Structure 1
Amino acid sequence: SFARRVLGPLKYSIPVFVALSTFGSLNGILFTSGRLFLAGAREGHLPPCLSFIHITKRTPIPALLVTATLSLMLLGADIFSLINCLSFVLWLSIGAAVGALLWLRRTRPDLPRPIRVHTAVPVVFILGCVYLVVVPMITEPYSTGMGVLLTLSGLPVYAFGVGWKNKPKWINTIHKVSTYSVQRVLMVVAPEQQLDEPLLSQPST
Structure 2
Amino acid sequence: MAQATEIHRGRKFDQVLNGAREVFLRDGFEGASVDDIAKEAGVSKATLYSYFPDKRLMFLEVTKTECQRQADQALAQINFDQPPEVVLSIAGHQIIDFMASELGQGIYRLCVAEGERFPELGRAFYASGPELVHRTLLDYLKQAVARGELAIDDLDLAAHLFAEMCKADLHAKLVFGVGCCPAASDKDRVIRGAVAMFMARYGTKSD
Which TM class, normalised by the smaller chain length? under 0.3
Larger Rg: 1
Q: TM-score if structure 1 supplies the norm length?
A: 0.25
